[in-house]
Structure 1
Amino acid sequence: MYTTGKKYAAFVLINCLTLSRIPLSVFAYMEITTGTIRGMYYLCLFLGIAVSDFLDGKCARAFHVQSSFGAIVDVICDFFYIMTSSYALYRLGCLPAWFLILVTVKLFEFILTSCLVRRIQYRSHVFMFDRVGRYTAIGFYILPTVIVLCSIYLPSLVFIIRYVFCISLLLFSLISSYQRFTATVKTNRMHPALET
């Protein structure tokens, strides 16, 4: 068992690991907007962000310091990276404006449906995840890196790859939205006494 002091130290360090995605995201944004992107440098930034995202949850579970605060910060840091990188690519004409709207709508839908289900079921988890939504989020996460690396190393294919990725993510988003709203309605029907 871990002592209270060790658990608190682990909690702080793990949340610092999560928050490290904010400055890394800023550096990624700055690298994209320079116009002359260094592929390996950007890839290293992305790997730092991805490793941080992978390790923070694993470490929180290993040290038994999972918390609502950590879950919320994790989602905020993920959204910050996705949005800043996508906006940088939008500024360069590499992503359509509707994609930024899609990412923002999916975030608010994720929060809203999670809050509704949690209020009804009194769940301990802050957020409700769906399988298609997870894959969609991964797609949002890697899309900026795919576009950046393709624009450097496969410029003749970047338009096709970008188009296929964006349309696929739109379709996955619609399926995820259907699943989330269906689950929310089903939960409401199962607990009619809790409706206000």
Structure 2
Amino acid sequence: MKVFDSPWQAGFEGADHVNRQGLKLSMNQLTGHSSRAPQDYAELKALQITIVRESVGWRLVEQRGRFDFSSLHSRLEAARRLDIQICWTFCHYGWPEDIDIFSDQFVPRFARFCGALAAWLAPYYDRAPVYSPMNEPAGGLAIQLFHCRQGAIDDVGREGKRQLVRAALGGAMPSGRPIRAPAYCTAIRSSI
């Protein structure tokens, strides 16, 4: 069974973070993609590109602990109609404003979000979907792309990357079952 329908994939910028200046961004809205996804997909289909990478926008779909995934519906329907495979990124730099990335609640909250989202997306798929729980966990923190309440943490980049990796693993396993890492991963751990 093939994971991807094609060797070619398009992507739409979907970051939804709060930047260093404290501005709330939604790149899907700023680029117009959120309102014209069906047309964007049709243009890709004309180029024989049948896979797209899309971002959910955790900061945008979870408000006061409640999920509203309705903003994804038009993209899912257009993809179904045009036979486009969507590879969803669950978190593209943004998270709800009431949670701190360094808090003990960040990982379980992200896992809850991932579980709810995967359950909501399930009826749209007749085969195993492709998800990326966390977009570029190292990149955004390394270049201070987004606003981060630092508190007393001296090494924000390193600790932030570790927390985002924990969240990605928690999001991939929202049941909370422990993941046993192969021996070679212990060497990698010290470099994260």
Relative to the length of structure 1, the TM-score reads 0.27
| Higher share of residues assigned strand | 2
Based on CA coordinates, which of the two structures has the bigger radius of gyration? 1
Q: Which has the higher helix share?
A: 1
* TM-score normalised over the length of structure 2: 0.28
